[in-house]
Amino acid sequence: MNPTSSLSSGVLTGIRVLDISHQYSGANAGSIFSDFGAEVVAVEHPEGSPIRTMLPKKDGHSLWWKVIQRGKDCVTLNLSSPKGSAMFLELAKQFDVIIENFRPGTLERWGIGPEELERAGANVALLRISGYGQTGPKKNMPGFGTVAEATSGFAHLNGFPDGPPAFPSTTLGDGVASLFGVIGVLASLVNRKGGPRGVEVIDVALFEALFRIIPTQVAAFDQLSIIPKRPGNFLGSHGVLRNAYKSSDDRWVCVSAVGTQAIRRIMHAAQAPDLIAQLDDDIMNHSDGEQVQTFLTACNIHLEAWTTTRPYTELMRLLQEADAVHSAIYSMKEISEDEQYKARKDLVKVPDDDLGDITMQGIVPKFPAREHFVRHAGRSRGQDNASFYSKLLGIGPQDLEQLKKEGVV
């Protein structure tokens, strides 16, 4: 395929997704499907979603909502009401995917769980994201991303040795879970190419998703009885050279290196011949891990002293000339000015009825042969009710108004 000739449709065009999630993890999964051309409908309670309360806001509109509900049609439906649940079962038959992140048992209590969906004739991949998953003794416990970050071992590993466990400053647990959810749904859709398969549940626990991407805490405990400690930014205990270093003019630079050649480039930039000599003696392949850690600690000490005596621009020049893996530590200001972000279209202006154009993250990953785009930011509550219910359920304006009075939509 010629990467310069764009296909007219998104890679997921033709897939229909009913997103009834009310928290970030599920909603973010839905936005990823929308980014790639799927038709995604966000179903919100008539009284509004908790996401709309999240800060920051502009003119009363949550920017969280604007970003994670981008590209979706927005309708309202009270799923816990008898009429609402009946409408949902009718709607479900017209979709390929359903996304939910209520506490386990909630859909079943409302009469719209997997068994009821299958009896109604739905043929869907049902993504269920919850704190602890649909099974196990903790399944009924409430859980947000923060709890997942605590339970997965992440918070225990994050932070500095002399400090408390540290949580990420953004929605890491929810975001990782949403990605595993998308992977699961796509796997289900691929597998059902041979024909209808009823309702297939994709069960994602917030804590498991984050737990899965921490590489060695399980194996190290099993094989070496090691309980990893908080290392801070320096990862000598992993056998790698990584840290954040401050320049003489108070700017921060990071370096990262795995293996002899990558470390050599950094130490060449830092003018450390004695340490390079140890690399030449194959210190990184020493059978004694403590010897490797001692060497990496010496490299770290050298770098801390070296960076504090040089201005930022000189550090960046020397590291670049050495072809070392390095970067400035960006704030949003640096991101907004960076040429790589611009070249990759990672900052896009998205139209919005309330606030005008809103700049937000672009689409990841890229498909060079296709043109994907974000159609609009998250819409107002129930903005698409009339067209949606008319098209899918044949409900006219008068009946819709009555359903609204009854609190169903």
pLDDT tens for each residue of 175-199:
999 999 999 999 999 998 766 679 9
Check: CB of residue 387 under 8 Å from CB of residue 80. no
Preceding omega of 46 cis (within 30 degrees of 0) = no
The angle, 0 to 180 degrees and rounded to 10, between the axes of the packed helices 397-405 and 385-393 is 110
Residue 9: closest CA among 37, 40, 41: 37
pTM over 0.85: yes
Measured distance CA(216)–CA(213) in Å, rounded? 9
What's the mean pLDDT in 66-88? 98
Q: Which residue has the tokens 């609402």?
A: 84
What's the mean pLDDT in 260-279? 97
Q: Please list, in sequence order, all residues whose beta carbon lies within 8 angstroms of the beta carbon of residue 53, skipping any fewer than 6 positions away.
A: 62
pLDDT at residue 5 above 80? no
One-letter identity of residue 108? E
Q: What is the pLDDT of residue 195?
A: 65
Q: What is the pLDDT of residue 9?
A: 83
What's the mean pLDDT in 367-391? 96
pLDDT at residue 384 above 60? yes
What's the mean pLDDT in 94-111? 97
Number of H helices, E strands in the chain: 18, 13
Q: What is the pLDDT of residue 194?
A: 64
Give the whole-number percent of the chain exceeding pLDDT 90.
Answer: 95
Residue 230: closest CA among 157, 166, 167: 157
pLDDT at residue 15 above 60? yes
pLDDT at residue 227 above 50? yes
What's the mean pLDDT in 312-334? 97
Q: For residue 134, with 0-12 CB atoms within 10 Å meaning exposed, 13-18 middle and 19 or more buried, which class applies? A: middle
Preceding omega of 56 cis (within 30 degrees of 0) = yes
What's the mean pLDDT in 282-302? 96
Mean pLDDT of all residues belonging to the chain: 95
Measured distance CA(338)–CA(43) in Å, rounded? 37
Check: CB of residue 248 under 8 Å from CB of residue 311. yes
pLDDT band at 4 (very low <50, low <70, confident <90, very high): very low
